[in-house]
Structures are given as C-alpha cells and as structure tokens.
Chains A and B, each alone.
Chain A
Amino acid sequence: FANKGAFNSPQQIILLRFQVWQMDIDDESVDRLWIILKAAIQQILRKDTGGLCFSELYNIAYMLTQQRRAMKMYAGLKEIITQHLSSNVKPEMVDSQKNNFLGILYKTWSDYLVEITMIEDIFIRMDQIYAKNHGMDSVFAIGVTLFKEQVLSHSSIKKQLQQLLLGMIDQDRKGELVDRENIRNICKMLMILSLDGRSLYEEYFEEPFLSRSIKLFQSESRKLLAEKSADKYLKEVEDRIEEEEERALSCLDISTGERIIQVVEQEMIVKHMRTIVEMEISGLVHMLEHTKTQDLARMYRLLGRVPGGLKLMCDCMSSYLRQRGQLLFSQEKAGLNPVDQIQNLLDFKAQCDHFLSESFNNNKLCNQTIIGEFEHIFNLNTHSPEYLSLFIHDKLTKGTKCLTEQEVESYLDKALMLFKILQEKDMFEKYYKQHLSYRLLSNMSVSEHTEKSMILRLKRECGFQFTAKLEGMFKDMSISTTTMEEFLSHIQTVPISLSGLNLTVKVLTSGVWPTQPQAPKCSIPSIPSTAFEVFRSFYLAKHNGRQLMLQYHMGWADVNATFYGSLQKVNDPESNAGGAQVTRKHILQVSTFQMTILMLFNNRETFTFKEIQQETDIPDNDLLRALLPLYWGKPSQRVLVKEPDCKQIKKEDIFTVNDEFSSKKYKVKMKLVPGKKEAAVPQKEGEKTRYRVDQERKLQIEAAIVRIMKSKNRLHHRALVTELTQQLQGSFQPSSAVVKTCIETLIEKEFIARTPEDERAYVYIA
C-alpha cells in the first residue's frame, strides 16, 4: 500500500481498519499456502479437480500476490507445467505417432487449454497486476509458450504434424474423403499457439503449405497449357480458385484464403497470361471473332484479378480491333457503298459494345480501348466526314427505306457516336450542309422534326456556332414558304400572266447554303425566265437592296411532254396494232438544265450537240451530265435519241425526240447520272470539298493566332501551338505544317513578328 503513504491524521481510523485485512504473513505461512496451490495445480493438470474449491484457491493466490510473492508463483507455475508437459504429454504424443496422431494431438491440446484456463482463473489478480503492468507473461501465455516449447517443437512431433496436415490437404485436393474438422482444429490450435501474431501457424503450416502449392500449381498449369485450349484452361483456373477459396474458408485459418488465392493467381494466371491471351486457335482474338461472350467474361474476371492482366487483354484487343477495323473501313475499299461501310463499322462497334457489357462488365479501361481504336480507325480514313454525312443522309432521305421514326432516331444516335470521335468535324459540317441542302431543296427530307432532332444532337455536341448555318437553312425554307404564299396572292391582284407556269422559288441566304458564287450559266427559255423576273421584281420591291442570283444547277422542273408515237415496224408480224399511232402524255421531272434542253425541241425536231451548246449556253460539263440520262439508258425510256446511237458525244451528233418513249408511270423522274461529281445529288464529293475546307481552316487558324497573340502579346512557338490546338479542337486538328504557313503569312502581313532574341518566339504588332 505504498502509494497511499501521503495520508494525514484525520484518516488514521481508516488506515487502522484496513490493516486488519492487510496483515503481513511470515515466510513459513507463504510456503504452506504455496504448497496448497501447487498441489491444486498438479491436480488440475491431472484432470483430477474433485474437491478443489475455487474461492479458496483464488484467495490464496490473491493473498500471495498482495504479499509480493508473484515472482515465486511465476517460477513455481512454470516449473510445474514444464514438468507435466515434458514427462506426461510429450511422451504420450511421441508414442501415438502411428495412430490418429492429429486427433490425439488436438484432444491433448484442448484438454490442456481447459486446464490452463482453470489455472488462469486462480491467478486473475496476478495476471491483472503483473502481466498488465509489469510486462510479464500472462498465465495463459506461459501455458501456450510452454506447450509450444515442450511438445510441438519436438522434431518428430513437428515433422509428423506437418506431413499429416499437408497430406490431408493433398487428399482433399484430389477429392478424397478427409476429416476436414481435424484440419480445422489443428489450424485453430496453431493460431492460438501463435498468441497475438500468426508466426507459429506460418512456420508449422502455412509456409510449407504455400510452397507446396506453388509447386503443385506450377506443374499443373504447365500440364494444362500443353493439353488444353485457352477457354478450357481458364475454366480450370476458375474452378481452382473457387476450390481453394472454399477450402481455406472451411478448414484453414481465414487469413490463408487470400494468400493461397494469390499463389493460384501468380502461378496459373500471371506467369502464363500472355500465353493464354495470345493462344493461337483459342485465345482472345479467337474469342472475339467467334463471339465467345462467356469465355471472354471469364478471361476478364480472371485476368482482371492480377496486376497488368487487364492491360494485357486490352492491348491484345487493341491490335485486333485495329486490324479488323482497318479491314472493314479502309480507304482502299473504294468499291463499297459509303453507307454500307459506315453500317459495317457500326455493326462492328455494336459487337464490341456487346462484349463490353456482357463480358467486360462495362469496365472503363476496356471501354476506353474500344473507343480509342474506333477513333483511330475512323479518323485514319480521310473519307470519314463525308461517309458519315452520307450515312445520315441515307437515313434522313425519304422514299427508298421504310424506317420507323424510332429506327431513324437510333441510327442517328449511332451516327452521333461516330461524330463524337470524328476529328475533322468542320469537314463533316461542309458535307452535312450539302446533303441537307439537297434534302431540303428537292423536298426529300423524311421530316423536319427528324432533321431538327439530328441538328439538336450536333448542337449539344459542338455548341450553337457549329449548327448556326444548318439552322439558317431551315429558316430560309420556312421564309420561302411564306414568300411564295405572298407572291401567289400578289399575282392574283396584278395583271401579269406567268403563261400557265407554276413557279416555286426558294430564296437561299448566301453563305448559309453550299451555293457556288459563280453558278454555271444557262439561258433558260423565255417563259420560265419571264416568270422568274416577275418574282424578282416582287421580291426586290419587298426587300430593297438585296440581290437575287439564280442557281440553275440546283433547280428542278416538272415538264409536260407529249410523245406522238410512231408506226410499228413490220418485223413484228404478230402485232395487230400495226400501223396505229399512239400518243402518250407524261410529266417529266427534270433538272433546270434538262428543262432548258428539252424545251428547245418545241421549236425544231433536231439539234446537233453543238447547237444545243450554243442555244443553252450551259457549260460543257453540266451539259453532258444533263444530256446523258435523256439519251442513254433503257431504250424505251430515252426521251431523246442520238445519232449515232452511242454513249459518247461528238459535236455533230444529232438529237431528236424519241416518240417511242414509253413508261408505265405518268410522272417520270429522270434518273440522274450516277456520276460522282453531280453537284445537287450527294454522292462522294471528294477533293473539291477538301480544298474548300483547307482554305477555310487556314483562315480559322490565322484568326485564332491573331486572337491568341493579341491577348498574350508574346508567346513561344510551342505555347502558341498548344493554345491553338486547344481552341480549334472542337472542329479540327491543325497540322503543324499549316500552322507554320499561317504564321509566315501573318508575319508577312505584319500582324505578328519574330522576337529579335528568339527566332521561335513571336510578338503581337498592335
């Protein structure tokens, strides 16, 4: 009671009373009490506890502890237990090595544990004071340590334990019936014997278990890889992981689960993953090619478990996608229809997306790999902007296909996916404008609603500037409708005749539409030309100061045509209609150029090509293209006949109306030349647009440079290029060569100058 020595007088009474309980006892009494305790401990270890009284023993141990005899008790306790273990327990265990060794060991251990717990109860006070406060071992720790030292570390016992335990696990792995309870008990014992850590468990069991497993899985995976395909191998690995997990959970210490799985992963996956993924007839590429969704999912699950596994898969997938995609969508594949090519690419993407969601759990890295490869494939082909626009055009043009609105919308969504990864968005916009203008002007659009929903998608993706011109086109269309209504009511009120001609004019704001500043010339016949002049003066009266320019190459006309037929030739003797002349009336839907050509034949029966040239004034290229469908095609549906009857045209070739023209339809639409350069009909447009886009890009780059230099005043070349790329990224990727030319131009024009101290830096000239 030393620490309470500071008491002063008023508490004297308490001290006196307390001393009654705290009387010192002499050594003789201590020895007497210890003999009682010692006998009791020996009795407990002999499992002979009858007649022992806990309260009495506890009181003795408590008293001895209070009398500072703990050290004596510690030493005595160790001696008694050691004695018992070395002379009773160890020989017993050594003897029972032949027969149910593990069972007996566990029974001995659990009995011992009960005994130690009883002894521990007696020494609660000693544990509380000395074990906690003086860094001494607790009674329990003493018991455990002694068991370890005296029994388990005996070499033959240790060896026997390890061999039996590993042998049982071998049997269990082979599927033989094994007393798993026994394994579990021994593992539990080893963990308890490890006290707070797991060192003994590791030494006696886990380390040999893991190193044996490494060898096992090494030889197993070698054997499996020699015999099995990748999918079968992966199935085996998955089974193995499941089995090992289950075994660890049900009979080993739970902490071994993670470690043994790591061994399986290391030996069966990490060491062979490249072999598995690249296996020739069954690896990743095979699985992708043959839509092995389940096998791919398994590969993803297993390789996803190990570091670098997913990366390896993605790399392999990358090169496959790139190869396959280039095969599918290469620039050299010129023969294929652009719409089909885009569709092929989309189908391929859909297949990849199927893998992504069904096999790869929508993994981010897998998704990035797929998107990245598609971006590469798609942008490698310089036709992509045009093809994509043609694809959308195909879906938005009414007539040929009977798509529901939902189908169209889903196509547009897919197209937008490609648009998102398209780098040359500005180029796309040019084509889109052309194709849209065709749809709007020839009234071929599926619906305004659908058109606008596509524009909205583009706008969401690129902002309003990107779609401003496209929206301008819609605005022109609706204004034109109003203007035509006003025009029609206007000519009711004035004494002007349009000579029976129905005129429809669409006023297109210049700059908004893909019009040509110098439209091809054409001398259109006087009736339509007079009618247009009426409209022109009506329009200009309303809009002072505007200019109207006819775009002949974009116009259309419905022409009434009468074919007088001719006498049937005698070489058809069966025909009883011989000699009858049949007059046929048709409406021909033709272009403005074609109308101009056809109306010539109201004046005369024959014209040479040269005469047509002179009369119509249409530039040669356009003229040839307009003529071809009129004289060349199915013989019965030729409007004109040419002499001589061949495709090629010479100046002196003679054209006459084909009176034998016949068609089942009353309204006949002139098939257009399936030629590539027809301005009004979107086919592949090619170089012309690219040149135009290149020019516009230069202007954009120059403007951006001036903007940047004005705000920064002074910049190094590299920084300027970085800024520039950032600003233009939304519409295209400026090439460094073009950027250099633009910089040269601006230096020449004295917008910017090189700095005297650094050739590669520029300053803004205000």
Chain B
Amino acid sequence: GLHREPMYNWQATKNSLKERFAFLFNNELLSDVRFIVGKGRQAQRIPAHKFVLAAGSAVFDAMFNGGMATTSAEIELPDVEPAAFLALLRFLYSDEVHIGPETVMTTLYTAKKYAVPALEGYCVEFLTKHL
C-alpha cells in the first residue's frame, strides 16, 4: 500500500498542482517505489511515485507497467549518480531544472537514459551557454 505519513491536510496548504507535486518530490509521503541509486557508500535511497515517473518517461512506464514490469518496491540503479537522478526527479515533479557545472553531464546522461528529451534539451542549452 501507499506510504502515508500522519501529516494532516498538507494538500490544503499548497495552492497549485506544481506546489503539491514539488512537495511530493523526494518525499516518502504517498510514495510507492524506492530507488537505491549509486554504488556502494555513495548509494542513496530515494522514494518516488510510479504514476509521476511513468507520466514523464516511457522507460519508467515500461519499467512499472510494461510486459516485464517489476513488482519489487525497491529498484537498484547502480549506474546512476544520485545527484543526477534527483535532478531528473525534480524535473519530472515540478518542471524545475537544477543543474550546475558539476552535475550537468551526469544529469544529461540520466535524462537520455530515461528518455526525457525536455530535460536533455535544458542540459545541452546549459552546456552551450556556460562551457
């Protein structure tokens, strides 16, 4: 079942769809999947919502809803940088792009891998502007 925290009526405090989803970003609240991102000590547990991810990426859609969908609630992504993954999720939850010189390449890689061309575009744009 969904993970529900006893946080009463938080929904009413957010005025827009974007605010509500931004609130759910990297939040255990209502989450139904957990990613173990990165390798070894660097690995990080990141909670997420299948629906939000599947709505933003065909790869996540296939992962959760396709013919070979996983039923496991924990998914390991050893080849992904946690910071880049968080940047991807932030974009999928709120349309916000948080990239800097340190993370742009890994974020670009992640956006490509999970087939999110819009974020890919922002990364390329960042690269052409700043580098």
Contact A54 B109 (CB under 8 A): no
A726, B11: Cα distance in complex, Å: 77
Given the complex, which residues of A lie within 8 Å of B105, measured CB to CB? Answer: 14-15, 17-18
Return B88 CB to nearest CB of chain A, in Å. 15
Contact B66 A55 (CB under 8 A): no
Q: Which residue of A lies closest to B79 (CB)?
A: A21
From 52 to 104 in chain A, residues with beta carbon under 8 angstroms from any chain B beta carbon are: 52-55, 57-59, 62
Return A24 CB to nearest CB of chain B, in Å. 16
B119 at the interface (CB under 8 A from A): no
Contact A124 B62 (CB under 8 A): yes
Binds A, one of B23-31, B41-49, B68-76, B89-97: B68-76
From 1 to 56 in chain A, residues with beta carbon under 8 angstroms from any chain B beta carbon are: 4, 7-8, 11, 14-15, 17-18, 21, 44, 49, 52-55
Known contacts A11-B101, A49-B67, A118-B66: A58-B59 contact under CB 8 Å: yes
Q: Which residue of A lies closest to B61 (CB)?
A: A121
Known contacts A11-B131, A124-B59: A117-B66 contact under CB 8 Å: yes
B53 at the interface (CB under 8 A from A): no
Residue among A21, A49, A52, A122 having the largest count of chain B Cβ atoms under 10 Å: A21
Q: Which residue of A lies closest to B77 (CB)?
A: A55
A728, B115: Cα distance in complex, Å: 79
Known contacts A11-B131, A124-B62: A54-B113 contact under CB 8 Å: no
A118, B77: Cα distance in complex, Å: 21
A52, B71: Cα distance in complex, Å: 12
Known contacts A21-B79, A52-B68: A121-B62 contact under CB 8 Å: yes
Return A401 CB to nearest CB of chain B, in Å. 77
A108 at the interface (CB under 8 A from B): no
Given the complex, which residues of A lie within 8 Å of B127, measured CB to CB? Answer: 4
Known contacts A14-B101, A58-B59, A124-B115: A117-B131 contact under CB 8 Å: no
A114 at the interface (CB under 8 A from B): yes
B63 at the interface (CB under 8 A from A): yes
Q: Mark B92-131, 1 if CB is under 8 A from A, else 0.
A: 0000000001101110010011010100000000010001
Q: Mark A402-434, 1 if CB is under 8 A from B, else 0.
A: 000000000000000000000000000000000
Contact of A121 among B68, B104, B106, B112 (CB under 8 A): B68
A125 at the interface (CB under 8 A from B): yes
Contact B101 A55 (CB under 8 A): no
Contact B101 A125 (CB under 8 A): no
Contact of A54 among B66, B79, B101 (CB under 8 A): B66
Contact A59 B79 (CB under 8 A): yes
Given the complex, which residues of B lie within 8 Å of A17, measured CB to CB? Answer: 105-106
Contact B67 A117 (CB under 8 A): yes
The count of chain A contact residues (Cβ–Cβ below 8 Å) is: 28
B58 at the interface (CB under 8 A from A): yes
Given the complex, which residues of B lie within 8 Å of A8, measured CB to CB? Answer: 131
Given the complex, which residues of A lie within 8 Å of B58, measured CB to CB? Answer: 121, 124
A118, B131: Cα distance in complex, Å: 39
Given the complex, which residues of A lie within 8 Å of B109, measured CB to CB? Answer: 18, 21
A249, B121: Cα distance in complex, Å: 43
A18, B104: Cα distance in complex, Å: 10
Return A444 CB to nearest CB of chain B, in Å. 83
Given the complex, which residues of B lie within 8 Å of A54, measured CB to CB? Answer: 62-63, 66, 68-70
A117, B115: Cα distance in complex, Å: 17
Contact B70 A55 (CB under 8 A): yes
A581 at the interface (CB under 8 A from B): no
Contact B113 A57 (CB under 8 A): no
Residue among B68, B104, B109 having the largest count of chain A Cβ atoms under 10 Å: B68
Contact B70 A62 (CB under 8 A): no
Return A47 CB to nearest CB of chain B, in Å. 10
Given the complex, which residues of A lie within 8 Å of B67, measured CB to CB? Answer: 44, 49, 114-115, 117-118, 121
Contact A118 B115 (CB under 8 A): no
Given the complex, which residues of A lie within 8 Å of B79, measured CB to CB? Answer: 21, 59
Return B50 CB to nearest CB of chain A, in Å. 13
Given the complex, which residues of A lie within 8 Å of B104, measured CB to CB? Answer: 14
Return A8 CB to nearest CB of chain B, in Å. 8
A483, B68: Cα distance in complex, Å: 111
Residue among B67, B102, B127 having the largest count of chain A Cβ atoms under 10 Å: B67
Contact B101 A118 (CB under 8 A): no
Return B28 CB to nearest CB of chain A, in Å. 22
Given the complex, which residues of B lie within 8 Å of A118, measured CB to CB? Answer: 66-68
Contact B69 A55 (CB under 8 A): no
Given the complex, which residues of B lie within 8 Å of A57, measured CB to CB? Answer: 68
A124, B68: Cα distance in complex, Å: 14
Given the complex, which residues of A lie within 8 Å of B131, measured CB to CB? Answer: 7-8, 11
A128 at the interface (CB under 8 A from B): yes
Contact A53 B101 (CB under 8 A): no
Known contacts A18-B105, A59-B79: A125-B66 contact under CB 8 Å: no
Return B114 CB to nearest CB of chain A, in Å. 9
Contact B106 A128 (CB under 8 A): no
Given the complex, which residues of A lie within 8 Å of B69, measured CB to CB? Answer: 54
Return B27 CB to nearest CB of chain A, in Å. 23
Contact of A53 among B70, B102, B106 (CB under 8 A): B70
Given the complex, which residues of B lie within 8 Å of A121, measured CB to CB? Answer: 58-59, 62, 66-68
Return B111 CB to nearest CB of chain A, in Å. 11
Given the complex, which residues of B lie within 8 Å of A128, measured CB to CB? Answer: 115, 117
A121, B101: Cα distance in complex, Å: 32
A658, B114: Cα distance in complex, Å: 126
Return A21 CB to nearest CB of chain B, in Å. 6
Given the complex, which residues of B lie within 8 Å of A115, measured CB to CB? Answer: 67
A118, B67: Cα distance in complex, Å: 6
Return B126 CB to nearest CB of chain A, in Å. 12
Residue among B102, B104, B113 having the largest count of chain A Cβ atoms under 10 Å: B113
- Pick 6 A–B contacts, CB within 8 A, sort by A: A7-B131, A21-B109, A54-B68, A121-B67, A124-B62, A128-B117
Sort A-B residue pairs by CB-CB distance and give the 4 closest, nearest first.
Answer: A121-B62, A118-B67, A54-B68, A18-B105
User: Interface on B for A, CB 8 Å cutoff?
Assistant: 58-59, 62-63, 66-70, 75, 77, 79, 101-102, 104-106, 109, 112-113, 115, 117, 127, 131
Given contacts A114-B67, A121-B66, 4 further A-B pairs with CB under 8 A are: A14-B104, A54-B69, A55-B77, A58-B63
